[in-house]
A and B are shown apart, each in its own frame.
Chain A
């Protein structure tokens, strides 16, 4: 008796009664108490082989009694988010604390699952009342297509009736018949009469209705993408995609009556990581279509003709599946499968392309099969593929905009324990140019950071904003990866630039304001400048100014120089430049910085003959600045402008701001710097291109003083040093000169005192000043002055 209670989990009422009546040794008593404390838990162990397919569930006597069960009465087991309907039987050894149950009649998600290492609470078992059924309607899942054809209706009904005989069923449960060697695999119970949400027993008198017959393969595929796939920020695309699918799948007759053939193919175009494949999966799930995925590269075989054969096989499979119901054949990375035929002189590839084209033409227009393909290089596709009748529709998914990013972030973080200080709006603003995959990586990294930091101590894992900041440093947007223009630079703030207050203000006005406060610009009907040209003598902080501007306006910053651009191949430079522009547009709002623009571009006005690379680059730049329009494939977001103008009253203030920012910040701002503005082509300088010219003058006395102060901030100065005096004496010195002066003076101090100097004295400065010459000349300044006055 004592041992019995010690080694088994006991039910409350039983053990309590023994507690009051019996006397126990102390150890036993403790055992019972702990058994009560830990709720009655049963360990799930595998079923005995002879019990497979018997719908039995074996319990220990205590559990059996406590649930008030009878031999063979129905009981519902809830595990792993699904339920299984069983009949209650006793274990042969009468041991408590264990549970074995058969998955004969289960909900869909438990089909063919293995329940290993599970603990089940007694509360997860529920005795079910039952009624004897008059009628049951089922969907029959049959193993092969051949069997489906050979079985006649009456034979099938007889078989199904036999399979269901004496089985307890439940609405929306699936009865598995796989243990018997019959052509039927599963029976999906869809209707019971009399209607009951509890169990129903199929007896000899129950009539069976067969609603439809499905082939196992198709059923599996529909089950496969059963779990909900959340897609953020792509609602509008998803809706239009669903429309394309729904029409032929569900209203084929309407289309027939209109004399239309159904669309057969959809091509999804977009940069990598925006969620093309995910979208297809989720849409297929929503329209209940079966998805057959095929990866382009997996088709290729080593033997000649093997690739074509594989292709035909897959299409055949898709065709068979589509006989059962709506089916989508998804070809991922179709560009690898179907490159342009003309350019590649590769015969086997051409044959594959031709085979694909023929197969696509061969699809009947009964509308149960639709082909979807995804690519990020639409230009590499064979043009023959992109005509109506093959890929009728092309859907462009761009890099997510601000709103979409917020949406995606909300979706990802909805399942994470996020601290209240996390500002998703701010994060969305920070993550310019990030695609869905990047954002997922970002959140994962943040979670990793949190896990790493909290594992030593506290229990509560809450992801804080600091973790997101950390991961922002690590995760770069993938569309800027491998880009030419991407630069890493030391962050510069406005305060680190001495003087030039006027210029700073101008720059803020033209770069920072439109990025940060677009609604004000929008209200005043202003458009922001398209491009800015900074010019001035060398060494006067033009580049540093741009860095500071990029820092303060939270946007992507791309920078290219002549070295990136020029290449020995004809046409390469132009290609690189337009690629940089494309990337900048993809991650807009962004700043594209062209340093030393005079070296990149030539001028067409001077009378040199011939078409030099520089001239061609110039014409590309002019085109990119205000060409006719964007390429179709670069489209981003959707027309939310309408929404902004009409129903903005009801929108939340924040949303409204988001909308404004989204609409206004679509463009790329070009910032160029040069010290030879006279070399530039006139066409470049007209309004609408580089329409804002800012002269960065050499520093005046006040500015020089503040520059000196900044330069000597980290240097210990002797008390006799008078920076004001130095500022006065350094006329015609540029910022770079001044920095150099400070450096030299400090070096001199070290040199004189054999590395023991503790401070730089004024005499050092004076001595250095004697040896250095200003890099600016009056001549130069006059030249710039003249240029300035020439401008209206």
Chain B
């Protein structure tokens, strides 16, 4: 049977790896997000144009001679919107991938812990030093991070899901609501936790 020390080392190794993955994935996540925001702005813009197109009376303007102008314009705008949305859903797929990677990593750590739970005394789990946080804390943080990603992804997805053709004002307001998710408190939870474990990650 495995000794306690070995079990601790195993779990610590898994944790270290997991945190490394998280820090990589967080970078991916952030860069994907930064690619998203111009897309959203253009979506909002297109929404505004479509709205104006709906309100303006073309017949009273010099453009009245162009037949079907309104239909053409609308069609073009809608096509453009669909194009942007497609790109956005591509980005969302990226985000989803990040989320799933993290979920899997965290699940692996928990699985490992469960396997060796018999060998781990409570005092070992709670043991902490200046450079190494306790196992219990780190596992907790992992769970927090995973939940955090799931939540962030879910919120964005719900935002995009709620888009409907007939609700143009919603589309116009979309960039702001998207940013509001960003501005929520605890946004730097992942960074904070990564800072807390930075010494632990550096120890071989």
Q: Using a CB–CB distance below 8 Å, which chain A residues touch chain B?
A: 50, 54, 61, 64-65, 70-72, 89-90, 92, 94, 150, 155, 159, 162, 165-166, 180-183
Q: Are B143 and A72 in contact (CB under 8 A)?
A: yes
Whether B5 sits at the interface, judged by CB under 8 Å, is no
Interface string of B52-69 (1 = CB under 8 A from A): 000000000000000000
Chain B, interface size category, equals 20 to 34
Tell me the interface secondary structure of chain A in the complex. Answer: loop
Structural contact, A71 and B151, CB atoms closer than 8 A: no
- A94 close to B126 (CB less than 8 A): yes
Contact across chains for A165 and B125 when beta carbons are under 8 A apart: no
Minimum CB distance partner of A65 in chain B: B122
Residue of A nearest to B161 (CB): A155
Contact call A89/B140, Cβ cutoff below 8 A: yes
- Residues of B close to A165: CB separation below 8 A: 150
- Asked if B158 and A70 make an inter-chain contact with CB atoms under 8 angstroms apart, the answer reads no
Closest chain B CB from A140 CB (angstroms) = 15
Shortest A92–chain B CB gap in Å is 7
Q: Residue B6 at the A interface, CB < 8 A?
A: no
**B123 to chain A: closest residue by CB:** A61
Interface assignment of B27: CB less than 8 Å from any CB of chain A = no
Inter-chain contact B147/A61, CB cutoff 8 Å: no
Q: Does B29 contact A (CB under 8 A)?
A: no
Contact indicator A180/B151 (Cβ below 8 Å): yes
Q: Which residue of A lies closest to B134 (CB)?
A: A90
Q: Which of B30-38, B80-88, B110-118 lies at the interface?
A: B110-118
A89-B136 in contact (CB<8A): yes
* Assembled-state Cα–Cα distance A89/B136 (Å): 8
Please measure, in the bound complex, the distance between the C-alpha atom of A183 and the C-alpha atom of B126, giving whole angstroms: 39
CB pair A70 B117 closer than 8 Å: yes
Partner of A72, one of B110, B137, B144, B161: B110
Residues on B with C-beta less than 8 A from A64 are: 122
Please report the C-alpha to C-alpha distance between residue A730 and residue B70 in the assembled complex, in whole angstroms. Answer: 123
Contact yes or no, A71 B126, CB < 8 A: no
Inter-chain CA distance A691–B155, complex, in Å, is 87
Q: Is the CB of A71 within 8 A of B113?
A: yes
Enumerate chain B interface residues (CB-CB to A < 8 A). 110, 113-114, 117, 122, 125-126, 135-137, 139-140, 143-144, 146-147, 150-151, 154-155, 158, 161-162, 164, 186
CB contact between B136 and one of A54, A65, A71 (< 8 Å): that residue: A71
Chain B min CB distance to A617 (Å) = 76
Q: Are B147 and A162 in contact (CB under 8 A)?
A: no
* B residues less than 8 Å from A72 (CB atoms): 110, 139, 143
A50 vs B141: C-alpha distance when bound (angstroms): 11
Q: With A70-B114, A71-B136, A90-B136 known to touch, is A54 a contact of B158 (CB < 8 Å)?
A: no
Instruction: Please name all residues of chain A whose beta carbon is closer than 8 Å to the beta carbon of B161 when the two chains form the complex.
Output: 155
Q: Assuming the A-B contacts A61-B126, A71-B139, A165-B150, are A182 and B117 also in contact, with contact meaning beta carbons closer than 8 angstroms in the complex? A: no
> Given A61-B122, A70-B114, A71-B113: A92 and B137 within 8 A (CB)?
yes
A162 and B143: CB pair below 8 A? no
Give Cα distance in the complex from A90 to B134, angstroms. Answer: 11
- Taking a contact as CB atoms under 8 Å apart, the answer to whether B155 and A181 are in contact is yes
A50 touches B114 (CB 8 A): no
User: Which one of B146, B150, B186 lies within 8 Å of A162 (CB-CB)?
Assistant: B150
Q: How far is the CA of A165 from the CA of B147 in the complex (A)?
A: 10
Q: Which B residue's beta carbon lies closest to that of A181?
A: B155
Q: Residues of B contacting A150 with CB < 8 Å?
A: 162, 164
User: Smallest CB–CB gap between A177 and chain B, Å?
Assistant: 11
Distance to closest chain A CB from B110 (angstroms): 7
Enumerate 23 A-B pairs (CB-CB under 8 Å) in ascending A order: A50-B144, A50-B186, A54-B143, A54-B144, A54-B147, A64-B122, A70-B113, A70-B114, A71-B139, A71-B140, A72-B110, A72-B143, A89-B136, A90-B125, A90-B136, A92-B137, A150-B162, A159-B154, A159-B158, A162-B150, A180-B151, A181-B155, A182-B158
Identify the closest chain B residue to A90 (Cβ): B136
CB-nearest residue of chain B relative to A152? B161
